Structure 1
């Protein structure tokens, strides 16, 4: 993984450990597509839960593995704008219950009994079409584009 730029002021891995939304960009015959996703950054790759029956991005990754993932932390009150953009290759991988649990725990908390049933059920009893998408970045750009917010009146 080549880091083209890192002006975040924090480690990229620490930034990607925050429970933020990612935006997965893929190519379709009709043109580019974007999917908001939860992800887990682990072993220099982003892991995304998917389902071949309900999600279209896994098929797009299989057809054209080149993709990008953007993650933004934005807080207007503080003027915080931090962004990590990665470009690389995606692969569709078999479902892994432990990895899926780690991913969901980032967003829903450590106790799966507190999770919304559609998520706890996804892990406890995955469908035959459950899968993971692995994004391996070739290049990464990480920028802090924060600004001084306007005073509150």
Structure 2
């Protein structure tokens, strides 16, 4: 899949390696879905693996219902406190379900990497299959990034 190039703010955009490092170190993303009653935004833990954002979602949730009707999604991961520290990545595209839904642990080689990453980051290395969550993969169609630390000194507040 070809990722659309960022057109604006390229001077402060992260490089692909910077994006990979940033997404590997942050812990929470905010996901927006399209629902029948308008947008729905929620924070989620995630794994960044092989150029895809991997999410787990309760398979009986508003987010899941929204995504099964319309798989388009936007996810934002950001960090920083002061203006000249702000940085982040927005990923847009369509999600696909990977593995059984809900996930009970049936063999699925595509999930080996993401499940272990998620377990290492959030569960002390132990993979959990609770029979309530399922995996979603977002292969971004568009990535927009910003790193205000790259601003010239005269443009920093």
Relative to the length of structure 1, the TM-score reads 0.74
The offset of 1:107, in angstroms, is: 4.0
The offset of 1:98, in angstroms, is: 5.4
Residues 1:81 and 2:86 are matched in the alignment: yes
Provide the rounded CA distance (Å) in 1 between the counterparts of 2:81 and 2:133: 33
Residues 1:11 and 2:14 are matched in the alignment: no
Determine helix, strand or coil for the equivalent of 1:39.
strand
Determine helix, strand or coil for the equivalent of 1:71.
strand
Instruction: State the Cα deviation string for residues 42-92 of structure 1 (Å, max 9, x = none).
Output: 111100112213x3212211110111111101133x841001111111112
> Structure 1 stretches (4+) deviating beyond 4 angstroms?
146-150
Quick one: which of 57, 63, 81 aligns to 1:57?
63
Relative to the length of structure 2, the TM-score reads 0.73
Query: 2:27: which partner in 1?
Result: 20
Q: Is the 8 A contact 1:44 1:136 kept in 2?
A: yes
Q: Is the 8 A contact 2:91 2:144 kept in 1?
A: yes
Higher strand share: 1
- Are the structure 2 counterparts of residues 90 and 24 from structure 1 closer, same or farther at C-alpha, using a change threshold of 3 Å? same
Aligned pair count reads 136
Q: Which 5+ residue runs of structure 2 have no aligned equivalent?
A: 104-110
The offset of 1:2, in angstroms, is: 2.2
RMSD, aligned α-carbons: 2.6
Query: 1:99: which partner in 2?
Result: 114
